[in-house]
Amino acid sequence: MMAKPNAERVARCADMFAAMGTEPRLRIMQRLLAAHPDGMVVGEIADDLDITGSTLSHHLDKLKGEGLVNVQREGTFLRYSANTDALQELLGFLYAECCTRNKAIEPRCIVTERR
């Protein structure tokens, strides 16, 4: 039997979900995952999503603050990439409850071939 999620883990996952809880941030995460593992420089993200630099900076700071993205300086540019370890933690948290312990959702229903 699986242990109950501890309060610290629940709080961390809640903070990560909250950080992704706006449409622009979720779109940023989608783009960074699509560009994995190379990531994208800020200008590419801004152009791709038609977001102003200051607004994008705010969203990226929130995602970075919760550990959902990694940032690397390349000269005068900042390259962002999805932190797949953090996303794996977040998805594992949900998966453990819905698909392992009480089988509310069959695991095969989650993992499907994307077309």
Q: How confident is the model over 15-40, as pLDDT tens digits? A: 999 999 999 999 999 999 999 999 99
Q: Residue 37 falls within a domain, yes or no? A: yes
Q: Residue 74 falls within a domain, yes or no? A: yes
For the chain, how many structural domains are there in total?
1
Residue 14 neighbours by CB under 8 Å, 6+ apart: none
Give the residue-averaged pLDDT of 83-96. 89
**What pTM was estimated for this model as a whole?**
0.82
Q: Residue 1 falls within a domain, yes or no? A: no
Write the CATH number for 79.
1.10.10.10
- In which domain, by residue range, is 48 found? 7-110
Residue 12 neighbours by CB under 8 Å, 6+ apart: 89
When the pLDDT of each residue in the chain is averaged and rounded to a whole number, the result is 88
Q: Residue 82 falls within a domain, yes or no? A: yes
